Amino acid sequence: MSTNRQFKLKQRPVGMVKREDFEFAKADVPEPGDGEFLVRIAYLSLDPAMRGWMNEGKSYVPPVGLGEVMRAGAVGEIVKSNHPKFAVGEHVVGMFGVQDYAVSNGKGVTRVDPKLAPLPVYLGTLGMPGMTAYFGLLEIGKAKAGDTVVVSGAAGAVGQVVGQIAKIKGCRVVGIAGGADKCRYVVDELGFDACIDYKNEDVKKGLKQHCPQGVNVYFDNVGGEILDIVLTQLAMHARIVICGAISQYNNTTPVKGPSNYMSLLVNRATMAGMVVFDWADRYGEAAREMGGWLQSGKLKTREDVVEGLETFPETLLKLFKGENTGKLVLKV
Amino acid sequence: MSTNRQFKLKQRPVGMVKREDFEFAKADVPEPGDGEFLVRIAYLSLDPAMRGWMNEGKSYVPPVGLGEVMRAGAVGEIVKSNHPKFAVGEHVVGMFGVQDYAVSNGKGVTRVDPKLAPLPVYLGTLGMPGMTAYFGLLEIGKAKAGDTVVVSGAAGAVGQVVGQIAKIKGCRVVGIAGGADKCRYVVDELGFDACIDYKNEDVKKGLKQHCPQGVNVYFDNVGGEILDIVLTQLAMHARIVICGAISQYNNTTPVKGPSNYMSLLVNRATMAGMVVFDWADRYGEAAREMGGWLQSGKLKTREDVVEGLETFPETLLKLFKGENTGKLVLKV
């Protein structure tokens, strides 16, 4: 415990993220001041949204500044504390950044219990991705029993939870994922009704087959061509939840807008964006309900754990290449 | 009263509508059967939506069949009747088609009073365009006092009403229209707060200037580039009403999807389609309220009346060239 390895943003990536976009630095482990504590990070959350945080310009959060430690959610253990409410030995989740150690004043930090669930689950199903799935599907998508719900990125951190909550709520669930393994995972292990392998199947044909009454709720994690195809298969009064657009994040050309958006008119449908932070005051409620489902086995969760902080840039790329199944986590 | 001139759809237009897409036929004036009446059409409604009705494929109404009289809303006088509820001399509005005379069984037909408003107004502000404006702005756009409302096609049949209702409801209203004359019309005569002339001004700069707090409601009649620009200027929780996309109706290339749709996520905004027919059971309520505003001078209306049934194909083109100010009507 003497050096703190850190990935700092060196330049704004153009297209796909590269190792050269970061500086891999070594600093001293910082000392917590009054009202602060020191966290030894155990696992880092790798999320598609991180790509957007590296870009300049207005978004739902400010961009990461050049020279700053790359922003990331993480879970770890408190190893020193001058904070009255956080004690050494406690485990906490927060935006601690891509590094070994972080100092925090406790703002935006949540205490978690490693006896209730393994630490990586607090970055996935019981963390931001799970919250995103829960509020996006139920509050924005207004999914209800009998609906046909389609989710893209179905085997990803958010998608796997969306589909399972939809099943719990009595929906028919069709996933869209890349590759036969991911499709098998969501159907055989998670209980989705069907999954379309967009790398090897005709997505439109698959939707027609598996959603004969049309799509009531589409939870979109990918954007691009798949969003455009789903638009052609909407049921009346369909709801589209815009959660992400991973297919477009590394574009060097303009984002592909949905050409078929006039289907919103034909079908009196709605497309709405969401940012999970808006639901922060209800995270507890969702975590309790999802924790119950996890305990009872109604909700399953998978994390894709890669070891080694030093692999950060390459491991992050797994997301954009679609190589992860379940929540991608970096073990520090 | 011996011949019935009719425009029949001869072929499905490719790109801009042409006279050759229609057959200009002469038929005998039909005789109404039992429970039917004969209408002598006085004015035809020319609407952007007619372009879509000429295309093959699923939409919110079936396409016009080849060889069928072109579908159009119209207002006229009953000249023969075998219908117990409609009498000779009454004036009625309905989907009577592009012709001199139509037989109807009364389904979807509304009686109107030429003493309360000139007949063309029943095709515009007190007709479908007015209903579209009313329900689109208030029910889908949920415009409320203090909102900044932007409407494209501002000097058109729908846009002129949207902006005025928004003013009545206490909103700040910014129009987007093509040409200085139209902009002057909506600002000086209708009381919009501002209007951006997209043919001669930078729309983004105009929006920044006139909507310093961002756009709360965007009522979109045009689609294409303008929709994409407005997306960059949304306020948080903005509502976009997708009413039409006139800029795209004559495309021979795919529709331009809104590249900036991820602004829906950043701003937790919603884009929703509407079709006015869904509100049919509340037309009466809207007509009474708008009739009151017309009488009191709060709501003004302009119709662009062109004479001569025989000019139908060329007159329809005025819509797509943006040559009409106010509701475009063909006097038969």
* CATH number of the domain to which B272 belongs: 3.40.50.720
Q: What is the mean pLDDT of residues B51-76?
A: 94
Q: How many domains does chain A have?
A: 2
Cβ atoms within 10 A of the Cβ of A270, count? 22
In chain A, which residues touch B (CB < 8 A)? 58-60, 223, 228, 242-245, 248, 254-275, 278
Question: For residues B235 and B153, is the Cβ–Cβ distance under 8 A?
Answer: no
- Choose the closest CB to A275 out of B242, B268, B270: B268
Residues B50 and B90 in one domain: yes
| A261·B261 Cβ contact <8 A | yes
Which of B231, B260, B277 represents a domain boundary (last residue)?
Answer: B277
H helix intervals, A77-156:
128-135
Cβ atoms within 10 A of the Cβ of A11, count? 12
Residues A327 and A213 in one domain: no
Q: Which residues contact A273 (CB under 8 A, 6 or more apart)?
A: A242, B262, B263, B264, B265, B266, B267, B268, B269, B270
**Cβ-based contacts of B58 with chain A (< 8 Å):** 266
Res A253: pLDDT? 86
Helix (H, G, I), strand (E, B) or coil at B105: coil
On whether residue B250 sits in a domain, the answer given is: yes
| B275·A265 Cβ contact <8 A | yes
**Cβ-based contacts of B258 with chain A (< 8 Å):** 257-258, 261
On whether residue B272 sits in a domain, the answer given is: yes
Residues B164 and B238 in one domain: yes
Residues A35 and A103 in one domain: yes
Res A322: pLDDT? 92
On whether residue A101 sits in a domain, the answer given is: yes
User: Residue B113: is its pLDDT beyond 90?
Assistant: yes
| A268·B278 Cβ contact <8 A | yes
Please name every residue paired with B4 in a beta bridge, in sequence order, or none if there are none.
B27
User: Residue A190: is its pLDDT beyond 90?
Assistant: yes
Res A1: pLDDT? 60
Q: What is the mean pLDDT of residues A201-228?
A: 97
Residues A92 and A155 in one domain: no
Which of A262, A277, A292 represents a domain boundary (last residue)?
Answer: A277
Mean pLDDT of chain A: 96
Residues A145 and A115 in one domain: no
How far is B224 from chain A, CA to nearest CA, in Å? Answer: 10
With 0-12 CB in 10 A as exposed, 13-18 as middle and 19+ as buried, what is A223?
A: buried
On whether residue A254 sits in a domain, the answer given is: yes
Res A59: pLDDT? 84
- Choose the closest CB to B266 out of A257, A267, A273: A273
Which amino acid does the sequence have at A166?
Answer: A
User: Residue A223: is its pLDDT beyond 90?
Assistant: yes
Residues B10 and B96 in one domain: yes
The strand ranges marked E within B227-302 are: 234-242, 270-273
On whether residue A144 sits in a domain, the answer given is: yes
Q: What is the mean pLDDT of residues B244-253?
A: 89
The strand ranges marked E within chain B are: 3-9, 22-28, 37-45, 74-81, 91-94, 101-104, 110-112, 148-152, 172-177, 194-197, 215-220, 234-242, 270-273, 303-307, 327-331
Residues A8 and A100 in one domain: yes
CA distances from B33 to A229, B88, B92, B93, B102 (A): 47, 15, 18, 20, 12
Q: What is the mean pLDDT of residues A38-65?
A: 94
Q: What is the mean pLDDT of residues A243-248?
A: 91
Residues A57 and A13 in one domain: yes
Residues B37 and B147 in one domain: no
User: Residue B39: is its pLDDT beyond 90?
Assistant: yes
On whether residue A79 sits in a domain, the answer given is: yes
Q: Which domain range does residue B10 map to?
A: 3-124+302-331
Q: Which residue of B has its CA nearest to A256?
A: B259
On whether residue B99 sits in a domain, the answer given is: yes
Mean pLDDT of chain B: 96
Q: Which residues contact A125 (CB under 8 A, 6 or more apart)?
A: A157, A160, A161, A290, A294, A299, A301, A327
How far is A64 from chain B, CA to nearest CA, in Å? Answer: 16
Residues A265 and A309 in one domain: no
How far is A75 from chain B, CA to nearest CA, in Å? Answer: 26
List, for residues B312-329, the tens digit of each pLDDT value: 999 999 999 999 999 999
**Cβ-based contacts of B204 with chain A (< 8 Å):** none
Q: What is the mean pLDDT of residues A91-113?
A: 96
List, for residues A118-174, the tens digit of each pLDDT value: 999 999 999 999 999 999 999 999 999 999 999 999 999 999 999 999 999 999 999
For chain A, percent of residues with pLDDT exceeding 70: 100
In chain B, which residues touch A (CB < 8 A)? 58-60, 223, 228, 242-245, 248, 254-275, 278
List, for residues B134-160, the tens digit of each pLDDT value: 999 999 999 999 999 999 999 999 999
Kindly indicate the confidence band of residue B58, based on its pLDDT and cuts at 50, 70 and 90: confident
On whether residue B295 sits in a domain, the answer given is: no
Task: Please tell me what DSSP assigns to residue A51.
Answer: H
Res B1: pLDDT? 61
How far is B223 from chain A, CA to nearest CA, in Å? Answer: 9
- Whichever domain contains B42, its CATH number is 3.90.180.10
Q: What is the mean pLDDT of residues B215-230?
A: 97
Res A325: pLDDT? 94
Residues B268 and B134 in one domain: yes
Res A163: pLDDT? 98
Cα(B155)–Cα(B248) distance, integer angstroms: 18
| A266·B60 Cβ contact <8 A | yes
Cα(A324)–Cα(A322) distance, integer angstroms: 6
User: Residue B207: is its pLDDT beyond 80?
Assistant: yes
Cα(A293)–Cα(A278) distance, integer angstroms: 23
